[in-house]
Amino acid sequence: MSGLEYHPTIKELPLGERPRERLVQYGAGALSTAELLAIILRTGISGENVLTLASRLLARYEGLSGLARASFGELQRERGLGVAKAAQIKAALELGRRLLVTSPQERPQVRSPSDAARLVMAEMGLLEQEQLRLILLDSKNRVLAIPVVYQGSLNTSLIRIGELFRCALQRNCAAFIIVHNHPSGDPTPSPEDVAVTRQIVAAGTLLDIEVLDHLIIGHQRFISMKERGLGFDGQEITR
C-alpha cells in the first residue's frame, strides 16, 4: 500500500458525511452531484470509496452531460464500474432525461440570480479547478441542461465564444446564463471577465439568444455581473 492514498470507506465516515444519510436528513437538493452519483453506485473499489469513485467519473467526463454522452461500452470499461454499475448510471440518466421531456413543468425555473446560483454553487464552490458552465433555458426560463463547456485554467483569450453558442443551439434554448468559479474563493470579476462577458452578450444579440447573466462562484458566495452592470451595458437586469 506504500505510496497509495487511503480513502476511508463510506461506513468509516461520520454519519453526517455519508451521502445516503445526508439525503435522508436534508433532502436530495442539498447533495452534490458526486454524492447523488455515489448513492446510485452504492459501493466503491479497493482503495477508493464510492464518493471518490463518483468524483473521479464526473471529472473524467466533465459532469453529467459527459456521462450521458458516453457509450455503455466506455462506462463499463472504467475502473470500478463494470456492467452492473454502468447500467445503473445509464438508467438513472435516462430517467432524468425522460422527466425533462415529459414534464417540462417540473424543470427548475430561474427567476433571479439566486435561483441560478443555487443550482450550481454547492458543487462549483468546492472545485479546485476553474470550470465554465452554461445554464441553458427555454422561453419560460426553465432549465434545459447545465453542460460543462470548459475546465482547467480559464484564460479568457482561449474561450471560444462559438463553442458556448454551439451548446445553446444544439439544445434549441432561448437564453442562457454563464457560470464560472474562482477556486481562490473570491468571486470578484476580473477585467478579463468583464471583457469576455461583453463579447458573449454581443454575440447573443446577433444570434437572437439572450445572455441573461454571468455568475462568478466563490466559497459560499457569488456575484451577478448583470446586477453590477459589468459586461451588460445598458441592459435591464431582469428578463
Is the pTM higher than 0.75? The answer reads no
Percent of the chain with pLDDT over 90: 22
Asked if residue 165 belongs to a domain, the reply is yes
CA dihedral 57, 173, 119, 229 (to 10 degrees): 120
Distance CA 216, CA 62 (A): 19
More confident residue, 18 or 1: 18
Asked if residue 84 belongs to a domain, the reply is yes
Distance CA 24, CA 22 (A): 5
Asked if residue 2 belongs to a domain, the reply is no
What pLDDT is attached to residue 187? 92
Q: Which of the listed residues 47, 73, 102 is the one where a domain comes to its end?
A: 102
Does 239 have pLDDT greater than 60? no
Give pLDDT tens digits for 57-75.
888 888 887 888 888 888 8
Q: Which of the listed residues 102, 125, 149 is the one where a domain comes to its end?
A: 102
C-beta separation of 11 from 21 below 8 A? no
Q: Are residues 209 and 127 in the same domain?
A: yes
pLDDT-derived band at 1, boundaries 50, 70, 90: very low
Q: Are residues 32 and 65 in the same domain?
A: yes
Q: Are residues 169 and 118 in the same domain?
A: yes
Q: Are residues 91 and 132 in the same domain?
A: no
Domain of residue 183: give its range. 108-224
Q: Are residues 122 and 86 in the same domain?
A: no
Asked if residue 96 belongs to a domain, the reply is yes
3-class DSSP assignment, residue 217: strand
C-beta separation of 146 from 122 below 8 A? no
Give the H/E segment covering residue 214.
strand 210-217
Q: Which of the listed residues 102, 121, 151 is the one where a domain comes to its end?
A: 102
What pLDDT is attached to residue 103? 56
Asked if residue 238 belongs to a domain, the reply is no
Asked if residue 190 belongs to a domain, the reply is yes
What pLDDT is attached to residue 209? 92
Q: Are residues 16 and 36 in the same domain?
A: yes
What pLDDT is attached to residue 100? 63
Distance CA 211, CA 198 (A): 10
What pLDDT is attached to residue 4? 47
Locus of grid cell 497509495: 4
3-class DSSP assignment, residue 218: coil
Tell me the CATH number at 214: 3.40.140.10
Q: Are residues 172 and 115 in the same domain?
A: yes
What pLDDT is attached to residue 47? 66
Does 2 have pLDDT greater than 60? no
Give pLDDT tens digits for 147-184.
888 877 666 556 788 888 988 888 889 999 999 999 88
Mean pLDDT value across residues 211-237? 84
More confident residue, 109 or 107: 109
Asked if residue 119 belongs to a domain, the reply is yes
Q: Are residues 219 and 127 in the same domain?
A: yes
Percent of the chain with pLDDT over 70: 84
Q: Are residues 37 and 73 in the same domain?
A: yes
Q: What grid cell was written down for 222?
A: 457569488
For the chain, how far is it from start to end, CA to CA, in angstroms?
Answer: 56
Asked if residue 210 belongs to a domain, the reply is yes
Q: Are residues 126 and 217 in the same domain?
A: yes
Q: Which among 138, 160, 149, 113 has a CA at the least distance from the CA of 209?
A: 138
Distance CA 11, CA 119 (A): 28
What pLDDT is attached to residue 214? 95
Does 92 have pLDDT greater than 80? yes
**Residue type, position 67, single letter:** L
Give pLDDT tens digits for 10-69.
666 666 677 788 888 778 777 788 888 888 888 877 767 888 888 888 888 888 878 888
Instruction: Specify the number of domains making up the chain.
Output: 2
